[in-house]
Every structure is written in structure tokens, then in C-alpha cells.
Chain A
Amino acid sequence: MNAYAELCTISNFTFLTGASHPEELITRAAELRLHALAITDRNSVAGVVRAFSALKELTRLRDEAGEDTPLPRLIPGARIVLQDSAVEWLALPKDCAAWSRLTRLLTSGKRRAPKGQCHLTRADLIDWGAGMALIAMPPDPLETPVPQPHLRQMQRHFPGQCFLGAAPVYDGRDPQRLDHLAGVSHTCGLPMVAVGNVLMHRAHRRPLADVLTCLREGCTIDQIGTRRLPHGEHRLKSARRDGAAVSPPPRRPAPQRRDRR
């Protein structure tokens, strides 16, 4: 089995954005034989608990049945959205101390913001970010230039911990996008990591995701326009690409996944 770990997954604990429960994501990841699954909600670790209990239940069922199928490893984490930078960071703690630093970081951000929000800056992430794998999720490089100084700043403080996430968008420009990101990765010295930008566990949750978008934006489904999901590719996928699935022909060696421990 080709080992693939999904490192960027949004559950429904990112309110009005994620369209699947953490339990559904874990179950689907086990079906797809994923190596690991990181639950990275926006400025929150609330989904990790549910995913952890779901994984415990799956382990119990497997042990009762006496099977030996591998289960995905759960990587707790959060997607840190900063106030002073367009780059979002997936913070994946490597040990218990880093986990408590991550929760501290989120607490301090939530304390200084009104309820439901979290105000964090790059300085906060530098203060509390030790011991985590930090994956940069820049905005679409074909629409806005990547703020490279922000990537370099983080790389200076946490050498060897920072990565550049590359997620396919399936809009026909993925080869250019990956080329562009590879250039950024080369100049900033951040290794590239393949992520899936997962919003749902299966493609049939696309209507629900669109309805959530309507609720978030305060519009009706007829007015959603271009804000809808154009396709159901932001789902949990296995490493093996299905025949019918979109596969951008790679021009350079596929970005390699770094195992972080």
C-alpha cells in the first residue's frame, strides 16, 4: 500500500465550513487505508476529541473481531489563521509539550477576541510554535503573490520544522500552480508537502457544503453563484488515484511527503 497521510482536514468543528463529522472522517480514512489523518480545524482543536474517541471505538471493534487491518494514526492539530498574514499554518504538534503550547496559543488568541473568533499574529506563532510541524498554506499563488518574507521568517525561527503545503484545486491550472509553489519552496527553503484541503469525507456531502456556504454568507442557494464548490474533489482520498479522477500530469517529481517523526 502506498502510504499517504492526509494532513489538512477540516471537520464540522470549523463552523459553517466543514461538511463532515470527525467520526465520519476517521471511519472513511480507515476504509481508504490512509497512513494517518490530521484533523486541523480553523483555530480550534475541538474536533480532535471526537476523532480520538471514534478511533478508539474502531480499534476496539477491530480487536474484538480479531483482525489485523491497520488503522490510520490520528494527528491532532489546528489550522492557524493569522491576522497579519495571508499565509495560514497547519500546526501539528510532535509531542505532549508542543500540544500544550498549541492549546496555549489558541487560548491566548481567543481571550483577546470576541466570542467565536481568535486573533493571532505571527509573533504569537513564533512565541508558541516550538516542537510542531508547521505547514504553510499560502493563498492561491496564481491569483496573489506568495508573501515569501513570512515563510522565511518562520523558517528562521523554526529551522527544519516548516513545510510548504501544495493542494490541488482541479481548475485546469494545477501544473502551473505546483510549478510556482516548487519555485517558492526552492527559494525559501521549505520542503513541499502534498495536502488535500479536505472539507468532507465523501463527495456526496457537496450539497451540504454549499448549503453551509449559503448560511455563512447569508444568501440563498440561487444567489450562491461562484462561491459554491465547483466539484467534490475536496474529499478524503486514498493515495491510489482512481482511473476517472483528475490527475494533473506531473512535470517534475511528485512532491514527497516527509514523515515527521
Chain B
Amino acid sequence: MLSIWFARLASDLALRRRPVKGAFALTHRAGGAEHLHCLNATAEALGLRRGMALADARALCPDLVTHPADLRREQAGLAALRRWAGRYSPIVARDGADGLVADISGVAHLFGGEDALRSDLHTRLERAGFTAASAIAGTRGAAFALARHGGGIVAEGALAKGIGHLPVASLRIDHASCTILARLGLTRIADLTALPRASLGKRFGPGLLMRLDQALGAQAEPVSPEPDLPRFAARLSFPDPIGLHADMMAALEQLLAQLCALLARHARGARRVRLELHRVDKATLPVEIGLARPMRDATRIAALFGKHLEQVDAGYGIEAMRLAAPVTDPLVPEQIGQGAAPDDLADLFSTLGNRLGFDRVQRLLPAQSRIPERSFLIAPAAYSAPEAPPAQTGPERPVLIFPPEPVTCAPTPPGHPPMLFRWRRMRLTTLRATGPERITPEWWFDDPNWRTGLRDYWRLETREGPRLWLFYTPQSPAWSCQGEFA
């Protein structure tokens, strides 16, 4: 078993991205105070420790450079290291938040022995900027303990001797047991192995004995490797270069069938599909399309590619094609036919979106506000679901709302709409007026359009035909028109 411990994983990852000279630390907010989450070697040399309050750390080291910790990025970094460690063994798993464990049974001779494997590992990690310690031992527990206390190799059959000098805390036991053991004077693993098992089990429960057995090999502890995430891609090479549109479409259909089968197996649908055409002269032509909803229907996706492939310049011919779905969404299988409406609208959004851009195909969504301008939302159609408007209650609203347009008329007596007015260079006469509906601005939100204060809305029927929605602003006397009824 090979155990690798990254003592300063978080700060190493942060410093790889943005190098900092001098003392550096990542801070993490817990319980209302900032604490040091991880530090670099310079900071540790200055006496700073993990878990120290940031204020104390600043007192010790005023020019400490700090960044907030990103735990998710740290996990992603460890996952990347796990993938990299696949070069030493096919069975690699994450061990805690800052370690890896690999089963290297029968692998070491490929690297020229265990020593050579370790030195190769350390050279590569050091070049990449990681502080790492590693240990090789017969059991996972022993390798874990040794990696966190100096590292090294425990020879075959000398487990008890090899890790006997390590502190009991390295056995992965809980903190409470650790404290009690220390109080009893049992600080080394060798102290524990010398004691009778029965009394040890009675005093500390089965957990301690299990960890001890796992470290000494009396109890098996296999490594279960994590499955790699599926990669939604397919590739096709041709014995002879192709250049005809029909040939490319045939190849695309073959690739799409593979990709869609892969997507179906993982119950996912593609949101973006990227096709790379590798030409004979080593040029790569990428063609990328977006989909308005997650999809794994080969014929529909092929139809969207058709237009793009016609414009492709094949040059001396295309020797390979690669199809990938870089963005996917969950898509559970659902029954089609049987009354389910065909999703023609989503196809239309896909077609329009690929031509015009997906942000430009928009839809209106209802919003809750008494202010007419804010009673709807505009959202990109591909990334929103249609919503039924709420049931119409309250006063009637016009079918068309536009930004307020000035209306010229003679001064009106208060509480009465104008009898004669001009709007859009039309002379209009009021036939009937209903109102007023008084709407005041939302006091918590400063809307520049509503700086003129409250509005009295009137519904006006004119002799000339238009039925208009006019409002009067008593606080700065003027009439404006904001909508037209059907």
C-alpha cells in the first residue's frame, strides 16, 4: 500500500495558481471568526499554526498575505491528483481531505523497486509544487501512519517494528481516546501492542482494536477506487480522407449514435455538442452547437449540424472526427407518443438560438408587482420554463405596454381626464373615461421612471378608435400615455 499525504494541499493549490513571495495563508470562516486554514512553509517557520485565529496570526506576522479558502476547489484539486496518481496504480482512492491511498501490489517493479517509485513520485510532485510525504507499508493503516510521521518504507513482515515508534494518534482513532491514552502514558503504538487485547477492548471499545488490527494486518482493509466520471465523447478515424457532405453526415450519424447511447446509459442529455474535424493538413475545424433543452435524439441533433457542415472547408480531406458533449444535464427517460406533445418549440429555440445566440431568444414570465413595468420578466427561453400567468384579478390591463409617451393637452381640472389631446401626432377626443386607478411608486426601490411620484391611471376610449391607458402625475402635473387596449 502506498499512502501519500499532502501536508499543505490547499495553500499549494492556491500558490500554484497565483505565486506569492513570503508568508501566505488561506483563511476559513468558522463560528464567526476567521481562522488559518492552511499555510505555506514560510508562514509555518514564523510560528504560525493551522486553526490559529487570523487576528493572532497578524500580530505575529504583520505582512502575512491571506486569501479565503475555497473548500470545493481543494476537493477538485485532490480529485485531479487522484487521477494523476493513476500512473502508479490502477486502484487509487482519496483518503481524507488531504491524502491519497493506492494499492501498488505487483506494480513497484515497473518503476524499478519501491524506493525508485517513491523517489519518482516525490520528484514529480515537487516539480508540480506540492509538499508531499509518502509511505509504503504492507497495510493501509501502517502506510497512513507512517506517511503522516516522516514517511518511508516498512519492510515486508516487519510491520509491528516499523510503526511501533509512531504516536498512537496516527492510528486514525478519535480525539477522546487519544487524550485518555496519552493520560495513561500510552503514547506509542508499541505500548498498545504490548497490552492484553481483552482489557484494551473493554476500556476503549472495538474502534481502537479495529484500527490497531488494520494497521498490523490482522484485519483486511481494501482500497476501493472511485469510478471515473463518464466522458461523453466518441471518435472516428477514416482509412481514406473524406470530403463530401454526405460522407460527413454519415460519419456524424455514426458518432451521434454512439454518443446518444452513452448519454442514454447515464440518463443525461447534451446541452452543447462539439464536433471536431481533423483535416489531413493537421488543421482542426471545430463546430459547436447549443441545444435549448437537454437532448439525446440523434436525428434532431444531426439536423442542427447539417447547416454548419455544408460550410465546412474540407481542404485535402478529413481523416478523423471527434464528437463530444462538453455540457450535459440530467434527462430521465420518458414515454413519448401517447399524447405527449412533440417538443417542437424546443427545436425552434435550438434553431433560432444557434443562429441568433441563445441570449437573444427570450420569453416573458409573470412577476409580482403593482408597477406595470415590473409586472413581467424577460428571460432567455432556453434556460427558463414557461409559467402560466396568474389569474386576472383587479383592474384590467392593456395588451400593449410601452414606455410612457407624452400627451399634450390643455390643463385639466383635478380629477378629470383631458377631453381633447394629442398623442403620437394624432388629435384625439375622449368619448368615455374610467378611473382613476392610483398607483404609488414602490418606496423601497428607486425607479428613475417613477421619480415623478404617484400616478393616476385612466382608461380612455376615444372617438377616433384607440383605447388608451393614460396617466396623470399630480406631483408634477403632466399627462402621459403608457398602453393601448385591444
Q: Chain A residues in contact with chain B, CB under 8 A?
A: 143, 170-173, 175, 206-207, 210, 221-223, 225-226, 228-233, 243-247, 249
Other-chain residue from A143, A175, A225 in contact with B434 (beta carbon distance below 8 A): A175
Judged by a CB distance under 8 angstroms, whether B435 is at the interface is yes
Chain B: minimal CB distance from A140 (Å) = 9
Contact partner, B436, options A170, A226, A228, Cβ 8 Å: A170
| Interface members, chain B 347-378 (any A CB < 8 Å) | 367-370
A228/B442 in contact, CB under 8 A: yes
Contact sample, A vs B, 10 pairs, CB 8 Å cutoff: A172-B437, A172-B458, A173-B395, A173-B434, A225-B367, A228-B442, A230-B439, A231-B440, A244-B474, A246-B436
B445: nearest chain-A partner, CB-CB: A222
* Sample of 15 more A-B contacts, CB < 8 Å, known A172-B395, A226-B370: A172-B436, A172-B459, A175-B434, A206-B443, A222-B444, A225-B367, A225-B368, A225-B369, A228-B370, A228-B442, A229-B440, A230-B440, A243-B415, A244-B414, A245-B415
Give the interface residue-count category, chain B: 20 to 34
**CB-nearest residue of chain A to B370:** A230
Task: Name which of B454, B458, B459 has the most chain A CB atoms within 10 A of its CB.
Answer: B454
Q: Is the CB of A171 within 8 A of B437?
A: yes
Does residue B438 face the partner (Cβ distance < 8 Å to A)?
A: yes
B369 engages A172 (CB within 8 Å): no
What is the chain A residue whose CB lies nearest that of B444? A221
Per-residue CB contact flags for chain B residues 459-486 toward chain A (1 = under 8 Å, else 0) read 1000000000000001000000000000
Q: Tell me, yes or no, whether B393 is within 8 Å of chain A by CB.
A: yes
Cα separation A233 to B393 with both chains bound (whole Å): 20
Q: A143-B393, A243-B414 are in contact. Are A226 and B369 (CB under 8 A)?
A: yes
Q: How far is the CB of B70 from chain A (nearest CB, A)?
A: 29
List the interface of chain B (C-beta within 8 A of A): 367-370, 393-395, 414-416, 434-440, 442-444, 454, 456-459, 474
- List B contacts of A175 (CB < 8 A): 434
Question: A171 touching B395 by the CB < 8 A rule?
Answer: yes
CB atoms of B434 and A172 under 8 A apart:
yes
Task: Name the distance in Å between A151's Cβ and chain B's nearest Cβ.
Answer: 23
Chain A residues contacting B442 (CB-CB under 8 Å) are: 228
Which of A171, A229, A244, A245 meets B394, CB within 8 Å? A171
B217 vs chain A, min Cβ distance (A): 59
Q: Which residues of B contact A226 (CB under 8 A)?
A: 368-370, 394
Given known contacts A231-B454, A244-B474, A210 and B443 CB-to-CB distance under 8 angstroms: yes
- A210–B440 Cα distance when bound, in Å, is 13
Given contacts A226-B369, A244-B474, contact A207 B443 (CB under 8 A): yes
- Residues in A whose Cβ lies below 8 Å from that of B416: 249
Which chain B residue shows the least CB distance to A224? Answer: B368
B439 surroundings in chain A (CB, below 8 A): 230-231
A223 to B368, CA, bound (A): 8
Query: Which of B393, B415, B439 has most A Cβ within 10 Å?
Result: B415
Q: Cβ of A170: which chain B residues have Cβ within 8 Å of it? A: 436-438
9 nearest interchain CB pairs? Answer: A225-B368, A172-B437, A231-B438, A172-B435, A243-B414, A244-B474, A170-B438, A247-B415, A231-B440
Expressed in whole angstroms, the minimum distance between the Cβ of A55 and any Cβ of chain B is 31
Contacts of A249 in B (CB 8 A): 415-416
List the A side residues contacting B459 at CB < 8 Å.
172
Q: Given that A225-B369, A228-B370 are known contacts, is A206 also in contact with B440, CB under 8 Å in the complex?
A: yes
| CA of A231 to CA of B474, assembled, Å | 14
Chain A residue nearest to B390 (CB atoms) is: A226
Q: How far is the CA of A140 from the CA of B399 in the complex (A)?
A: 24
In the complex formed, the residue of A with least CB distance to B393 is A143
Residues of B with C-beta under 8 A to A173: 395, 434, 437
CB nearest neighbor in B for A225: B368
Nearest Cβ on chain B to A33's Cβ, whole angstroms = 22
- Are B444 and A207 in touch, CB under 8 angstroms? yes
Chain B residues, CB < 8 A from A247: 415
- Chain A residues near B438: list those with CB within 8 A: 170-171, 230-231, 233, 246
Q: How near does chain A come to B411, taking the closest CB pair, in angstroms?
A: 13
Distance in angstroms between the alpha carbons of A197 and B370 in the assembled complex: 20
Q: Which of A143, A207, A226, A233 has the most CB of B within 10 A?
A: A226
Nearest B residue to A242 by beta-carbon distance? B414
B439: nearest chain-A partner, CB-CB: A230
Least Cβ–Cβ distance between A196 and chain B, in angstroms:
15
Within 8 Å CB of B456, what residues of A?
246
Q: Which residue of A lies closest to B477 (CB)?
A: A244
Residues on the B chain within 8 Å of A228, using CB: 370, 442
Which residues of the partner chain A approach B395 to less than 8 Å between Cβ atoms? Answer: 171-173
A75 to chain B, nearest CB (A): 28
Chain A CB within 10 A, most for which of B367, B369, B393, B414: B414
A172 touches which of B370, B415, B457 (Cβ 8 Å) = B457
Residue on A nearest B415 in the bound complex, by CB: A247
The minimal Cβ–Cβ distance linking A59 to chain B, given in whole angstroms, is 36
